[in-house]
Every structure is written in C-alpha cells, then in structure tokens.
A and B are shown apart, each in its own frame.
Chain A
C-alpha cells in the first residue's frame, strides 16, 4: 500500500540515475530517443487527459505518457515529492505547498468543467432550484420535496410529498471542494459550517464513494439529489437541475452557459482563478478550472521539449476534444495567456 511507504525520497536517487543515464546515452543515436512522461493527479479531467495523451502518443512514436488518476490531493503530494514529471489538481495548489517545491511551480489551467445537481424524481423532468432552495437542501434545512421554496420555482411540477435524500461524496474530492466553495459563497450559514473543504463535515446525507458511487446512489434511490461533474451526468443521461445564478436567472447546465461564466473569470498571473459565484446573466453558477502542475525547471532537456510540445498540442488541437467529453474549452484569451506562460518552464 502506498500509504505505508511514505519515503519516496528513497527512490529519488534511483530515479535520478535512471533518468540521467537515459538522457545521456540516447543523444548520440540517430534514432529518436524514447521519452516517458509520468503524471498523476485529479480524476475529474482524467478522461480528457487520457484522450489527449493517447492521441499525442499515436502521432509521436517515441513518446509515452502515463497518467494516473489518483485524485487531486495525491497529485499534489506526488508532485511535491517529485515522483512524477507533472501533477494535476482541481483545487490548484496552496501557497505553502508551492513554496515546498524547489525551483518553482508553473500552474497551467487545461480545461474547465461544471458541477451539476442530479436528482431522481419520477415525473419531474425539469427541476428548477433557487439559490435558497439548493443551499437549504445541502444544509439539511429543506427536508421535503414539496417544500414551498422548491415549489415556488416549479409551478405545475408534480413534486411528491417525500423526503429529500441528499447524497454527497464520501471520499476527499476536488468536486466537493468546488461545490462547497460555491455554497459558501451564496450562503453565510454554509460558510460557517460545514464550509469549503475537500471532505467537509456534512450536516446531512448519505455518503458515497466517487462520482460513480454518488451516481449509483442517486439512480437507485427515489427522491435523491446529489452533485457530480457535468460530463459524468451527461454521459449517463442523468436528470440535471436548472440552478438560479447570481443575476437571478435560472440556467441549465450546458457548455455554453459554463463558458459564459468562465469568460467573466479574471485570470491572475499565477493562473489560480476561482470564481465561486460568477456574476453573469447567462452563466451557469458552478464552474471551475482544473490545473496541470509543472516544475519551472526540468533537468532533462528531452523531457522538457516533449512536455512543451505536448502542452502546445493540448492548448490548440486538444481543446477541440473538450466539448465532446463534457468539458468546457478554455476561452481564447486564456489559451493565449497559458501559451505565453509556457516560456516560464525552462531547462535547468
């Protein structure tokens, strides 16, 4: 078990020897050297990343890219321990974590996604939830489907007189982080407790493991509601609630509505952009970027060249794959900014 070997440091010298030897001997050869990139982290963008890396490797025979979707926390940990060439995280990286990486860290937003509320209600196809309603549900204050706060936004819908079965994530997850960050932004009470966290102390609900666990629970439980990623919900044809945004409009989760929210998000120099409650008329309220973590300095020149080429590919060609898989393509100005930031990644 990985848990008990908390000494990745031990392997560093071995890894270093392997790396240096392969970088050193391959050069004089006429044939293209084999380059292997190792990455690990967030599970949310994993389907998209695998698609990118697969299609990149198929056109570049000498490149092999491994991505392990072990979760954002694990990704950041491996990245700090330098057991990978790049990491990935939905929750960006905390300043104190960045400080622990010698030589510096370059965060690069790669794609974005929405978090949606899916539900299981017989006969209700278009559920609208006001901000008060859905924050109340996840605070455990709105307990019944025919609560006036829900009924007010859904005239004509046959809301049953049955309890709301809230389903939340049991494991630590970036999706939970984004969702609780949004709830904290729209509800003072939620901000106090449980607050923003990867694994907060939820006041209500049964907890299921992973997106797939939450999905299964919702599918098999009448009257259930829970949060999952948009791509996941779309692939499985789950009913998604239409949510009220800051402007007071009810917005269904679509790629376009997500993009509208992202366009309004200010992108700072370090690329750590959060917008827990976007103020856009047609924007969907819960969107987030997801980041690739790169070192600012790479000892191996071949790796660096491949990594830069790969990132260029994902920022241009790769963005076209996003939508089909349920991710939001990066807005054009952001792509330009990220491309410019690639200059910060240098050889040692």
Chain B
C-alpha cells in the first residue's frame, strides 16, 4: 500500500462537488433576490389600477371611507412611522443598557463578589454561577422574541392598558397643554402600542448590541483602564463608540421589525384614522389597516390595499437604505478605534 502524499491535486469527484456546491449557492442566492423582486412586482401589478385611480392623493388625504370610495392613507403612514420611532427610542435606550449590563460583566462580578464572601468563588459548582447567570439572563431576553405577536396583543389589552390608565389620566389632567398628553387615554391607543412594540423589538437590539460590545477587542478596554479611565468612562468613551456600528445595525433592523409589526398593533393601536401627536390618542398603522381589511376585502378594495402594502414596503426600504447610508458615514469616524 503506497503512502498518501501530503499534497495531491483534487480528484475529479472533489472538483465536481466543489463546482456543484458553488453553483447551488449561487443559484439560491439569486433565487432569494428573484423572490423579493417577484413579490414586489406582484404587489405592484395588483396595486396598479388603484395607483392610476387615486394617484398621489392616496398619500396625502386623510379619509378612508369605503362607502364613498375615498381611500387615502396619510394617518396610517403617520401612525406607522410615529409608533415605530417612539418604540425605537424606548427600545434602544433599554436594549443598549441591557446589552452593556450583560456584556460588561456586571452580573458576573456581583455574583463573583458575593460568592467570595463565602469563599466559594472557585468552587467546582458554585464557581460556574456567574457565567451561568449571565447566560440565563441573555436567554431570557432572547426568549422575548419567541412570544407570539397575538399574545403580546392580549397582554397589552388586559395588562398594559389598565396599568397605564391612572398615570395617563393624571398626565392628561395636569399637563394637558403639552401636545404629547393632549387627549385622554380611552383604551387602545398610541402609548400602549408603543410600549408593547418596544418590548417586542428589545431582543433584536439587545442581541445585536451585545454581540458587537463583546466583539470590542479587550486590549482597548485594558488600555483605557491603564490610562486611568474609570469603568464608566471606559464604557461610554471607548467601548460604546467602537461598537456603535453594530449597535446601529441592530437598531435599523429593529426599526424594520417595528414598521411591519401587525397583530399586536392591530389589537392595541385603536385603529382610528387620526393624525395626532398625543400619546394617548388612538391611531392606525399601515400593517394594522391591511390586517383588518384584507379578510373581507372586495376585489376592488384589494387593489387599494395592495397600494397601501406597496407604500409600507417603500417606507421600510427607505428606512433601511437611510440606515445603511448613515452606517457607512458613521463607520468612517470610529474605525480608528478598531484594531
């Protein structure tokens, strides 16, 4: 039996496998692009009659009245963007905070120091506790993503709305002159929708932010400590800016999710065609409008709804492109901090 040489040209079979694998990947990659294009085309072609009939007035009017045959979606566009932005602000604040908390070892250190008191910190079982606790928290946050939308909606109806009603009533009574609190919270409305939505996008922001925070090279951290920076200064001035690009990516992704979220919003937002900056006023979103109208839509309505779907698609696209562009610009400034 001859010994196998260390190097040898690939066999025919290997070469064929390689080519087949390459082409398959290539094919699938294109397939997904074609699929997206196909979806857009189908929606656009179904929307075409409505686009011809209603034109741009569809985007600027404020009434949706099937009886009169007037359809326009400005309130829905406003509600979609307003609710997503508000949810994004809350979700980002909490999400990034949670990510810092989980990635900078706050939990681990605390448990480690507690164990130290009992001299258990290098114990066979107890010594693993800090790491396990962090893992548990991480999984718990990510578990939020696994809760079905309709459950969030029901939770919002039966828990969130009654819980925020007293505070909302007080804010409206005392600070009613401030536009954000301009109306009374009747029941479903913008604020409950935004609160639930921000919890729904939390896992996306946290997971991606945490990944980019842990990816910051440890020597940067060590260098900052070595220069005499406190932990606080290190996190704010060194680690966060370095991880900014990744965090921003997560935020854009979460924004996309918030724009398209349907079921929970259809249940919580109040579905009223109103444009109001008040947090307590009922509003409507494009996705909720689609979910509510499609099941019983007549053939003529379908075109109008497809037009609305196309607008939603366009908004999502614009947000993603804008996000990518900002990302591109922001990344230039902080690349110096990378290794």
Given A207-B282, A220-B157; A170-B184 close (CB under 8 Å): no
| Main secondary structure on A side of the interface with B | loop
Give the residues from 194 to 239 in chain A that come closer than 8 angstroms, CB to CB, to chain B.
194-202, 205-209, 213, 216-217, 220-221, 224
Contact between chains at B188 and A197 (CB < 8 Å): no
Taking a contact as CB atoms under 8 Å apart, the answer to whether B297 and A172 are in contact is yes
Q: Output the least CB separation between A197 and chain B (Å).
A: 5
Do B184 and A201 touch (CB < 8 A)? no
The interface bits of chain A over 71-86 (1 if a CB of B lies within 8 angstroms of the residue's CB, else 0) are 1111000000000000
With A206-B271, A206-B282, A213-B267 as contacts: A200 and B65 at CB distance below 8 Å? yes
Give the CA-CA distance A165 to B161 in the complex, in Å.
14
Beta-carbon contact of B66 and A197 below 8 Å: yes
- B266 A209 Cβ-Cβ under 8 A: yes
Q: Which stretch, B12-20, B85-93, B119-127, B287-295, touches the partner chain A?
A: B287-295
- Say whether, besides A73-B295, A171-B296, A165 and B187 are in contact (CB < 8 Å): yes
Q: Which residues in chain B, 18-40, are within 8 Å of chain A measured between CB atoms?
A: none
Also in contact, A200 and B66, with CB within 8 A (given A73-B297, A205-B272): yes
Contact B186 A221 (CB under 8 A): yes
Tell me if B162 is interfacial: C-beta within 8 Å of chain A: yes
Q: Does B64 lie within 8 Å of A170, measured CB to CB?
A: no
> Known: A194-B65, A221-B186. Is A209-B295 also a contact (CB below 8 A)?
no
CB < 8 Å: which of A201, A205, A221 contacts B68? A201
Give Cα A74 to B301, complex, Å. Answer: 13
| Interface hub of B46, B272, B296 (most chain A Cβ within 10 A) | B296
A217 lies within 8 A of B157 (CB): yes
Q: Which residue of B lies closest to A196 (CB)?
A: B67
Query: Inside 8 A of B189's CB, which chain A residues have their CB?
Result: 206
List of A residues within 8 angstroms of B149 by Cβ = none
Among B270, B273, B295, which residue has the most Cβ atoms of chain A within 10 A?
Answer: B295
Closest to A216 in B: B157
Q: List CB contacts (< 8 Å) of B111-147 with chain A.
A: none
User: A312-329: contact bitstring with B at CB < 8 Å (1 yes, 0 no)?
Assistant: 000000000000000000
B232 is an interface residue with CB less than 8 A from chain A: no
Is there contact, CB below 8 Å, between B187 and A171? no
A173 located at the interface, meaning its Cβ lies under 8 Å from any Cβ of chain B in the complex: yes
Is the pair B272, A71 in contact by a Cβ cutoff of 8 Å? no
| Contact A206–B292 (Cβ < 8 Å) | no
Q: Which of B64, B66, B288 has the most CB of A within 10 A?
A: B66
Can you list, as one digit per residue, whether each of B179-205 has a CB less than 8 Å from chain A (1) or not (0)? 000001011110000000000000000
Residues 38-92 of B contacting A (Cβ, < 8 Å) = 42, 46, 63-68
Q: A201-B68, A217-B187, A220-B162 are in contact. Are A74 and B296 (CB under 8 A)?
A: yes
Which residue on chain B has the smallest CB distance to residue A219?
A: B158
How big is the A interface, by class? 35 or more
Contacts of B46 in A (CB 8 A): 6
- Contact (A199, B271) CB under 8 Å given A206-B186, A209-B266, A221-B186: no
A3–B262 Cα distance when bound, in Å, is 15
Q: For the complex, give the distance between the alpha carbons of A163 and B172 in Å.
A: 14
> In angstroms, how far is the closest chain A Cβ from the Cβ of B95?
28
Alpha-carbon distance between A197 and B67 when the two chains are bound, in angstroms: 7
Contact A172 B295 (CB under 8 A): yes
* A198 and B188 alpha carbons, distance in the complex (Å): 21
By the criterion CB–CB under 8 Å, are B66 and A206 in contact? no
Q: Which residue of chain A has its CB nearest to the CB of B306? A: A3
Known: A73-B296, A173-B296, A206-B271. Contact between A201 and B65, CB under 8 A? yes
CA distance A7 to B185 in the complex (A): 44
Chain A residues contacting B63 (CB-CB under 8 Å) are 201
A163: which of B184, B282, B291 is its contact (CB, 8 Å)? B184
For residue A12, CB closer than 8 A to chain B, the reply is no
Kindly report which residue of chain B lies nearest to residue A170, judged by CB atoms: B271
- Least Cβ distance of B154 to chain A in Å? 8
Given the complex, which residues of B lie within 8 Å of A224, measured CB to CB?
186-187
- Select from chain A the residue with minimum beta-carbon distance to B70: A201
Tell me whether A201 and B42 are in contact in the complex, defined as CB-CB below 8 angstroms, given that A73-B296, A171-B293, A207-B282 are known contacts.
no
A18 at the interface (CB under 8 A from B): no
Instruction: Indicate if the CB atoms of A206 and B270 lie closer than 8 Å.
Output: yes
Cβ of B308 to closest chain A Cβ, rounded Å: 12
Determine the chain B residues whose CB is within 8 A of the CB of A221 once the complex forms.
Answer: 161, 186-187
Does chain A have a CB within 8 A of B338? no
- Residue of A171, A200, A206, A220 ringed by the most chain B CB atoms within 10 A: A206
Q: Which of A1-15 contact B (CB under 8 A)?
A: 3-4, 6
Q: How far is the CA of A41 from the CA of B270 in the complex (A)?
A: 26
Residue of A nearest to B189 (CB): A206
Tell me, yes or no, whether B298 is within 8 Å of chain A by CB.
Answer: yes
B-chain residues with CB within 8 Å of residue A197 when the two chains form the complex: 66-67
User: Which residue from chain B places its CB closest to the CB of A176 in the assembled complex?
Assistant: B296
Q: A287 in the interface, Cβ–Cβ < 8 Å?
A: no
B289: nearest chain-A partner, CB-CB: A170
Per the 8 Å Cβ criterion, residues 84-132 of A in contact with B are none
Which residues of B line the A interface, CB within 8 A?
42, 46, 63-68, 154, 157-158, 161-162, 184, 186-189, 266-267, 270-273, 282, 288, 291-298, 302
Q: List 8 A-B contacts (CB under 8 A).
A: A73-B295, A163-B184, A170-B292, A197-B66, A197-B67, A206-B272, A207-B270, A221-B161
Query: A72-B296, A163-B186, A173-B296 provided; 14 other pairs, C-beta below 8 A?
Result: A73-B297, A74-B296, A163-B184, A171-B293, A171-B296, A193-B65, A196-B67, A200-B66, A201-B63, A201-B64, A207-B292, A208-B267, A217-B187, A217-B188
Q: Name A residues whose Cβ lies closer than 8 Å to a Cβ of B.
A: 3-4, 6, 70-74, 163, 165, 167, 170-173, 193-202, 205-209, 213, 216-217, 220-221, 224
